[in-house]
Amino acid sequence: MLDTPASTLRFGRLLLTGAAGHLGQMLRPRLKAYCQTLRLSHRREFGPAAAGEEIMLAALEDKAQVQDLLVGVDAVVHMGGVSTEQPWEQILAGNIVGMVNLYESARCNGVKRIVFASSNHVTGFYRQDEVVSPLDPARPDGFYGLSKAFGEDLAQLYWNKHGVETVSLRIGSSYAEPKDRRMLATWMSFDDTERLVVAALTAPVVGHSIVYGMSDNPRTFWDNTPARHIGYRPLDSSETFRPAVEARQQSLDMTDPATLYQGGSFVRTGPL
């Protein structure tokens, strides 16, 4: 967790959706440093609120619940929704209908900044020998990646039409350490994840911007140059973990699509 002086407080009430998920749990104690009140949401019970927190349960596909969820909110960190490849019906409810509800509720409640957890799987069908920027066309690797591409397009629409700013974070692999050789390129430390979210919340002007979420890794699939105005500067690197990762995974199957494409195992999973 980063050291955060009190002078960096920027928000009265900040909403974190998906608060009981993998990244939601990690961000929960960290985001409290940037607001007076942290509103936490998930679709099911996940325990009591701590000091400076409030909990509101909401299913993203429930329009009325999401409308209530955004009342009095200054900004949103949207980590909610389906986070892996799943049957279409689940993704439709959480990542399509839920996104429309979130953005329409933001418009109605005057919320002007959303940090949206998009995904690298928006461009998962680029090969690992290509370098992709936020300006390149989407090539989703499944229903999940497709839903995140929809979310980015929705964010663009609400910026163009209603002035709701969004930074779409195409998150790579945010874990304590990289698990395999692909993650040597896609890994983002928890501290760098915090740096990215805070940069997205506090950059003065973002419109709708897309930035890849990765640490300062020597090997990478992504070029963040078009998103430098966000001010994200990663300080960690996967290089520390390279010897251990390569010792665990000494060879690669070059006939496996997961080895060839940036989306890894997502290119060969799911109902398609």
List, by residue number, the catalytic residues: 144
Cα–Cα dist 94/162, whole Å: 22
Q: Which among 99, 146, 98 is positioned nearest to 122, based on CA atoms?
A: 146
Q: For residue 58, what are the contacts with CB-CB under 8 A and spacing of at least 6? A: 17, 41, 43, 65, 66, 68, 69
Task: Name the amino acid, one letter, at 183.
Answer: M
Q: Which of 268, 86, 259, 267 is nearest to 183 (CA)?
A: 259
Q: Which stretches does DSSP call E strand in 56-94?
A: 75-78
Among all chains, which residue has been given the structure tokens 């229903």? 143
H helical segments located in the chain: 22-31, 63-69, 88-91, 98-109, 143-162, 183-186, 190-202, 242-248, 257-260
* CA angle (119 as vertex; 214, 122 as ends), nearest 5: 115
